[in-house]
Amino acid sequence: MGPVELPAWLQPRYRKNAYLFIYYLIQFCGHSWIFTNMTVRFFSFGKDSMVDTFYAIGLVMRLCQSISLLELLHIYVGIESDHLLPRFLQLTERIIILFVVITSQEEVQEKYVVCVLFIFWNLLDMVRYTYSMLSVIGISYAVLTWLSQTLWMPIYPLCVLAEGMYFTYSHLYSERRDVVRVFPIKKKKM
């Protein structure tokens, strides 16, 4: 008996591509689930669905954003050929907004801006991960390439606007909470 030949996708030169394909597929599925869930909830419940967006999909959103930290390792090790600094800044911004700001303030989690921000993030990520997943296996669609290269241009400024609105809400609610602590409201006994 001679040496056992491995399937093509398990050979060393294909392991990296198989790993990246699976990683992009997992991220695409997560972000697609979030986007689909938000869309179905909006068409089912209308504006009421926007209020509890964070409660409905916050866990999966935090999971997808946590997994996306692997991309920094991919770039550092050389698995991906992106630039480290822009990706680091984008991930840091999202992690801080999601884990530090949104998760810590329940009063602001119910604002429409959280739903809008999640829609923008997931729309960008669904296109990006679809494009990356297909490029790893050598498939290229002109429309998808165009979307991947141009969709961020109108959406990033809208994300910055939504994040600015969110920080404004967050600041106003934290100031209100501080004022209420300093001047507690006493209830009258009857």
Selected catalytic residue, list 156, 166, 169, 173: 156
Instruction: Say whether 23 sits in a helix, a strand or coil.
Output: helix
Instruction: Determine whether 163 is an active site residue.
Output: yes
3-state secondary structure 42-60: HHHHCCHHHHCHHHHHHHH
- Alpha-carbon Rg for the chain, nearest whole angstrom, is 21
Nearest alpha carbon to residue 166 among 122, 126, 117, 129: 117
| Nearest-angstrom CA–CA distance, 155 and 161 | 10
Beta strands in the chain (DSSP E): none
Residue 166 near residue 102, CB atoms below 8 Å:
yes
Selected catalytic residue, list 14, 112, 163, 173: 163
Catalytic residues: 156, 163
